[in-house]
Structure 1
Amino acid sequence: MSSVENPMPAMGKGTLILACFVLAFTNFMVVLDTTIANVSVAHIAGGLGISSSEGTWVITSYAVAEAICVPLTGWLARRFGTVRVFAFGMAGFGVFSLLCGMAWSLGSLVAFRIGQGLCGGPLMPISQTLLLRIFPKEKHAQATGIWAMTTIVAPILGPILGGTISDNWGWHWIFFINIPIAAICATGAVILLRNAETKVEKAPIDTIGLMLLVLWVGSLQLMLDLGREHDWFGSDFIVSLAIIAAVGFSFFTVWELFDKDPAVNLKVFRYRGFTVSVIALVFAYGTFFASLVVIPQWLQSSLGYTATWAGYATAFNGVAAVMMAPVVAKLSTRFDERILVSFGILWLGGTSLIRVFWWTSDSDFWTLALPQLIQGAGMPFFFVPLTTLALGAVREDEVASAAGVMNFLRTMSGAVATAIGTTLWYDGAQGTRAELSGVLNGAGATMQSLEAHGYTVEQSRQVVSQLVDGQATALATGSIFTLAAIVFAAAASIVWLAPRPKHAVAAGHAH
């Protein structure tokens, strides 16, 4: 993100520490909200009287809104000033968090989550920009390290906090807890960072490009979210959304390639290394993020886990990631990035296969949590070197644009893959249940045994039905992770089509 800067006077040590806390905590909160609702879907669905598949819209709507707002970040900072955008973004995030907690229906909650994502989208890159602005150049590595740690730790704590809060206070409070933090950080920014404000200029904005972006992205996500409920392409409404998405994407692509100041600089795709790296990122990250949504739903709907314990089980992948991050940083200076990326993605695929063979409807906590822990060790091998591989392939003056495109597509891939993954999972469970019901052996004897122990005929049928449901969902979960392993293997393979980076990537972009 670029902006015209005013000279930056040196800050006192105490002021610098407080400003650093405000910026780091802001980034932490925005990233936290990408995962805090993952384990709360069952609570939200129950509270609003909707299905769990509809409950996932709370996750995808936030991600899509955040992705759409990323291309606007640079223009907003130049047009209104970096600190002003940060402060208004934080205030808006707090207001929409309040409204999310007060939501009375699925429509209202999704609308408020979109507002939350639009306000939160610019905060992540701007918080990093301001950290680098207020710290002396010789301490930029430390500032980037602080920012990166909040980015890594927040997804770990998200499921734990989301589960604990939902079980003990209610799902509304996963949004209410943002309000005091947003108020403190917005106020702190105005007071502590006013000397870090950047100059304002009348920067051009690609209005048509942004409108086309919203049109095709919104239509695509609506199609994916609503397709299951409307019988997919058997519905004229879904077909219309698909056509709008395809036509909108086509016009968007042509417009952005020829516009003088594009909202999304698609010209960076002329670099083979960047294109290959982004394709690997989209498929690998999307598959990974979708698993973070499917796993807690399976634990709660079929294995009887509370949201709290589902959060504990899913959060283990972040523990090993934090431990391995410094190791990967050192290895990145000694080994070909393609080796590290390919190894990291294959590691994710391997843990997907572990789940296929280990996880059953009778699995205990550590059987479920251990693959998460193992998976986390491979995550830094995937994320950090892949960013270097992608951004190192473009010209240095295009790195900022390329980083914005990467962030947009990474966030979008999570939303799209979540919609596809949950649909495949629900449909797979239903199909498998029908197959199991057709070949079920010993059901009569089981019912007789239950009736002999005092169960009524109806209660016996419900017990057998629940057993079949549990097995069907477990098999569907295994199928999802088999597919995930295939996607990871393909993503790891195409990385080798990218050349080695032409230049080093600055720490600010590498994260």
Structure 2
Amino acid sequence: METGFRKWIIVVTIITSTIIELIDTTIVNVSINTMSGNLGASLEDTAWVITSYAIANVIVIPMTSFLAEKIGRKQYYIGSILLFTLASAMCGFSHNLWELVAFRFFQGIGGGALLSTSQSILFETFPVKERATASGIFSLGIIIGPSIGPVMGGYIVDNLSWQWIFYVNIPIGLLAALLSYIYLKPTKRSQDGRRIDWLGIFLLTIGVGSLQVVLERGETDDWFAAGYIIALSIISALSLAVLIWWELKIEHPVINLRVLKSTTLSISAIMTFVLGFGLFSAVFVFPLYAQRIIGYSAFQTGTMLLPGTLMAAMISPFLGKMLQSGIRPQYLIITGFGLSAVFGFMMSGSNLETGGAYFFIPLICRGLGAALLIVPLTALAVSELKPSDIPQGAALNNMMRQMGGSFGIALINTYIAQRSAANRTALIAHVTASDPLTIMRRQSYVNNFMAHGATYLRALQASLGALENTVVRQTFLLSYMDAFLLLAILNACCIPLVIMTIKKRVAVKAGKVEIPDAH
């Protein structure tokens, strides 16, 4: 526990490290086209730049507690920052795609370690009675990072080269490592002489890594139509099943699944998974919709996300104070899911004529909803754990959020593709040579092209292309509307789940959230 200047310099360092790690989960998305052209690779292959980072993140997050104990938390934290920073530099220096993919994997290993270790350090920096405030502060990084990634990425791609997406991490990472070295308390490595759980590490790597590849690449390769997707799905299921059995059997596991005996942590983990699903899916779907349908640039799209993000950042510390003062977390969680549902319902009501002003309110709801979910769920997850179990509980909770995001993006992407096929079939059923509206629309196109100097035959041919473009645009519009509606329904369905799973009164004593029973 720290006080005064030292306490707040640690807070700034921790939040900075969290933000740069989460920025890198989304900052690359807007530069895939540019990377693909510069590196002479297909878009499908270039997507591995995103996939490799996500795989490394999810593999290393649940191991952070074990590794920090073995290496010493301060040493492990600083080493992770330096690995993240060095890998960022090497990503920028890469000469071909597969070099970049490899260095992104190492960047993900360093970054994933930062997420859970940062949370543990922050909780121990604050006294128990201020742990809810610490959760509010930690949530700043979770909210801000993924949301400003597209803004930064769009600006950098428009004004510099794609390499600067990685170079910007270098001075920030070096400063964070220096401040951590100066201000974090030294920690000793575990000297109990227990054996390293190599089998657990192997099973975790294979199981989670295979699952992540399936989620990231499934839609691209038509899911179970691809043999490697089937093989990896089987490998993942078997590995994770054996992992659970093994980790519960041995005395010193790499992942202490026994902390899930805490009902509060188990419930929070489920809700955090849903939170990750909605949080990352919304950040994935909205930029695609804004750029492909409305015609905004990457930078304009990112800028539209900023007001909601800033609003969420402003209220997060106060939400921690509210929890300490006795506000029941269920109220915040239900409100958060409600606002997230409002975002989806409002977005599903937009159309091709919708202006930028319309998106302001739903995006504010998205930001506020995320804050109202992250803060109480983060606090609840570790509220009943012993201090020695907090790092493992935080790691598992963070893994569930990242896994929820991976599942969300994969399923939403698949849903959009399926709805696109269905919506196109429904639309073209009305676009026939005998349909009066189609005849009128085609004739207006012909007249417009002829007015600009085209011959009748060329104008007629161009009108067919224009009709096709209209159908394609309307198809994608309807598909994205369906995706927003699905997100709204999922969030709305979580509200009764909160009420059903957390029945008993939540007592808040001395700033510590305690749930006596929850079934």
Taking structure 2 as the reference length, what is the TM-score of the superposition? 0.84
Aligned to 1:469: 472
Q: CA deviation at 1:278?
A: 1.9
Corresponding residue for 1:182?
173
Provide closer, same or farther for how the CA distance between residues 387 and 92 of structure 1 changes in structure 2, counting only shifts above 3 A.
closer
Matched, 1:287 2:278: yes
Deviations 1:114-156 (A, max 9, x none): 2111011222333455566778999989877765544544344
Which residue of 324, 337, 342 maps to 2:329?
A: 337
CA contact (8 A) 1:38 1:292 kept: no
Any conservation in 2 of the 1:277–1:386 contact (CA below 8 Å)? Answer: yes
Counting only pairs closer than 5 Å after superposition, residues 446-485 of structure 1 correspond to structure 2 as 446-454=444-452, 456-457=458-459, 459-485=462-488
Whether the aligned pair in 2 keeps the contact of 1:212 and 1:249 (CA below 8 Å) is: yes
How far did 1:307 drift? Answer: 1.0
Q: Give the corresponding residue for 2:76.
A: 85
Quick check: 25-34 or 39-48, which moved more? Answer: 39-48
CA distance in 1, matches of 2:448, 2:40: 32
Matches within 5 A, 1:361-380: 361-380=352-371
Consecutive unaligned residues of structure 1, counting only runs of 5 or more, are 1-7
Given the superposition, is the C-alpha separation of residues 505 and 91 from structure 1 closer, same or farther in structure 2, using an over 3 Å criterion? farther
Judged with a 3 Å threshold, the aligned counterparts in structure 2 of structure 1 residues 155 and 287 are, in CA distance, closer, same or farther, namely closer
Matched residue SS, 2:26:
coil
Counterparts of 1:230 and 1:78, CA distance in 2: 40
- For residues 18 and 376 of structure 2, what CA distance do their matches in structure 1 show? 22
User: Can you give the 5+ residue segments of structure 2 that lack an aligned partner in the other structure?
Assistant: 432-437, 515-519
Matched letter for residue 404 of structure 2: S
Moved more, 81-90 or 16-25: 16-25
1:272–1:33 CA distance, 2 compared to 1 (3 A)? same
The aligned length equals 499
* Cα 1:463–1:112 shift into 2, 3 Å: farther
1:350 and 2:353 matched: no
Give 1:165 shift.
1.1
Q: How does 1:386-425 map to 2 (within 5 A)?
A: 386-392=377-383, 398-425=389-416
Distance change >3 Å, CA 463–CA 488, structure 1 → 2: same
Partner of 2:502: 498
Does 2:429 correspond to 1:438?
yes
Q: Distance in 1 between matches of 2:417 and 2:45?
A: 11
Contact between 1:299 and 1:310, CA under 8 Å: does it hold in 2?
yes
> What TM-score, normalized by structure 1, do the two folds share?
0.85
Q: What is the CA–CA distance in structure 1 between the aligned matches of 2:44 and 2:287, rounded to whole Å?
A: 13
Backbone CA RMSD of aligned residues: 3.5
Residues 187-226 of structure 1 aligned to structure 2 (within 5 Å): 187-190=178-181, 192-193=182-183, 196-199=186-189, 201=191, 202=193, 204-226=195-217
| Alignment partner, residue 517 of structure 2 | none
Once the two structures are overlaid, the 10-residue window that deviates more, 196-205 or 460-469, is 196-205
What does 1:129-144 align with in structure 2 at a 5 Å threshold?
129-130=120-121
How has the CA–CA distance of structure 1 residues 104 and 436 changed in structure 2, closer, same or farther, with 3 Å as cutoff?
farther
Give distance in 1, aligned partners of 2:249 and 2:264. 22
Shift in CA distance, 508/218, structure 1 to aligned 2, threshold 3 Å: farther
Bigger shift: residues 412-421 or 462-471: 462-471
Deviation at 1:31, TM superposition (A): 2.7
Measure the CA separation in 2 of the matches of 1:178 and 1:22: 14
Q: Which moved more, 1:229-238 or 1:344-353?
A: 229-238
Superimposed CA distance per residue, residues 368-424 of structure 1 (whole angstroms, 9 cap, x where no aligned partner): 333111222222221222234443455666444322211111112112221222232
Preserved CA contact (<8 Å) 2:14 2:118: yes
Q: Distance between the aligned counterparts of 2:317 and 2:4, measured in 1?
A: 30
Q: Is the 8 A contact 1:156 1:316 kept in 2?
A: no
Cα deviation per residue 1:193-250 (whole Å; 9 max; x = unaligned)?
Answer: 4863434535543221121111121212222233233332223222112211221121
One-letter amino acid of the structure 2 residue matched with residue 345 of structure 1: F
Q: Secondary structure at the match of 2:346?
A: helix
Call closer, same or farther: CA 1:266–1:234 in 2, change over 3 Å: same
Identity %: 28
Determine if contact 1:300/1:306 at 8 Å carries over to the other structure. yes
Within 2, Cα distance between the matches of 1:135 and 1:274?
20
User: Over residues 438-463 of structure 1, what are the superposed CA-to-partner deviations in whole Å (9 max), with x where a residue is unaligned?
Assistant: 32234532431332233544544443
Q: Counterparts of 2:315 and 2:184 in 1: how far apart (Å)?
A: 37
Q: 2:435 matched to which residue of 1?
A: none
Distance 1:272 1:140 in 2: 19
Q: How many Å separate the matches in 2 of 1:59 and 1:355?
A: 26
Contact 2:304 2:360 in 1 (8 A): yes
3-state DSSP of counterpart to 1:476: helix
State the distance in 2 between where 1:101 and 1:56 align.
16
Aligned residue among 220, 223, 229 for 1:229: 220
Q: In the TM superposition, what is the alpha-carbon distance from 1:287 to its structure 2 partner? A: 2.3
